[in-house]
Structure 1
Amino acid sequence: MAKKSAAKSPAENADEAPLRRRILEAAFSAFMQSGFAETSTLEIATRARVSKRELYALFRSKSDILTACIRERAKRFQLPSHLPKPGDAKSLPGALTAFGSKLLREISDPTVVAVFRLAIAEAFRSPEVAQALNAAGIEASRASLREMMSRACATGIVSGQPAEMAEQFAGLLWRNEMVSLLLGVVERPSEREADRRAEAATAALLTLYPGPGGLK
């Protein structure tokens, strides 16, 4: 027992952030290779070179680990702080286009598509996988869009229900692309293509939801 404790001491003395990151990277790799249901916490700990005690000190369960993996990637779907705030009619199209283009590129990233495939494959055996993805991933992007729409509606730039507008914009942006990405029959859109599609989706949305005085 003494030898085992000595062997674990470097990991035990590691900073929490690097240890957490190592566990999440090991878990994501295992989930992608074996599936969520077939991956044990022991396998994750072994891949991460930590003890199960260290793993459970940071995560209560395997589902918590998966949720953390998804949340790490979901940060990329949130509204970037550097984007212009839609405080007037001139700034809204640019802000929407920038966010839409970013959303297309981030969600079509091969790693993110792999997460969606995992959720679909595990949905029946492990519904918590799909629930985690929806709550921490898909809902994150919708929340950012609703926030932007709420700001625009509050200033009278556009008129409508923010939640409905967010869903409409996502539909205009993606069309049927996500299904094709999941099937692997289309390539990830280039930055130029993402910009073009985001501009088109923005123009269509602003036509559907003009403000009281119209968007000029």
Structure 2
Amino acid sequence: MKKQAIVESGPTPARERILRAAMESFMEHGYTQASTLKIATRAQVSKRELYALFGSKQAMLAACIADRAGRMRLPGQLPRPSDREELATVLSGLGATVLREVSDPAVMAVFRLAITEAPRAPEVAATLQTARQAICTTVREILAQTQSAGLVGAGAPADMAGRFLALLWGDLMMGMLLRLRTAPGAKEIDERARTAAADFLRLYPQPANAPTAAARRRAAAR
């Protein structure tokens, strides 16, 4: 009988330990009170090693934010719907992804940190805003494509994206930021996403003179 090889994980890299320790310190003590000594001690590294890897506390903060904001990224390639039914499916899937990624406790922790530390460390809010803007851009682009295909009526794509996201979130984010409620489960996420997509499509009906799905497929095949 062959013995199974036991794979032991090595020690956590210093950079990863520092980022984890920095984020924990920022959340416990606030950005200004979280000293590099506290962070180095918690990460079990020397201050020299800490500065060699990051250079400054601001750089650590930016790396922490970027790491967690990366969870807010949406798929780069989304299917292009050919009719309103497919559009509802795409919007529902997109909405579910947004809710699932942004409501992650680690991401919510970053939002709270940005709100608390914005007056003293505006780079926190700026870094987070970049990630949030990426979500808005993805939604705006898919809506601009569907509008050009005649699936939704007139409206500025940026405004339409903002309205869809507002329908998607409602007061959920505020409740989580205030710790009045926990992150939604899979069932609630899917239901909220489907409802937001349906409400959005009611707000933006298909133009009466829009080409049919069959006509659009014929045009695409030429």
TM-score, L = length of structure 2: 0.77
- CA 1:56–1:143 in 2, change beyond 3 Å: closer, same or farther? farther
Q: Which residue of the other structure, out of 188, 191, 197, is the alignment partner of 2:186?
A: 191
Counterpart in 2 of 1:151?
145
Q: Which amino acid aligns with 1:182?
A: L
Q: Which amino acid aligns with 1:152?
A: T
- CA 1:22–1:155 in 2, change beyond 3 Å: closer, same or farther? farther
Q: Which residue of the other structure, out of 156, 181, 185, is the alignment partner of 2:176?
A: 181
- Give 1:84 deviation, angstroms: 4.2
Counterpart in 2 of 1:9?
none
Hey, what's the Cα distance between the residues in 2 that align with 1:189 and 1:54? 40
RMSD: 2.8
Aligned pairs for 1:1-216 (under 5 A) are 18-81=13-76, 84-89=78-83, 90-136=85-131, 138-159=132-153, 160-212=155-207, 213=210
8 Å CA contact 1:79, 1:145 repeated in 2: no
Hey, what's the Cα distance between the residues in 2 that align with 1:198 and 1:155? 23
Hey, what's the Cα distance between the residues in 2 that align with 1:109 and 1:184? 13
Unaligned runs of 5+ in 1: 1-13
Residues 138-190 of structure 1, C-alpha deviations (whole Å, 9 max, x = no match): 22322222232233234333343221111111100111221111222223212
Larger gyration radius, structure 1 or structure 2: 2
- Give SS of 1:186's match: coil
Query: Runs ≥4 in structure 1, deviation > 4 angstroms?
Result: none
- Give 1:102 deviation, angstroms: 2.0
- Give 1:112 deviation, angstroms: 2.0
8 Å CA contact 1:122, 1:129 repeated in 2: yes
Identity %: 47
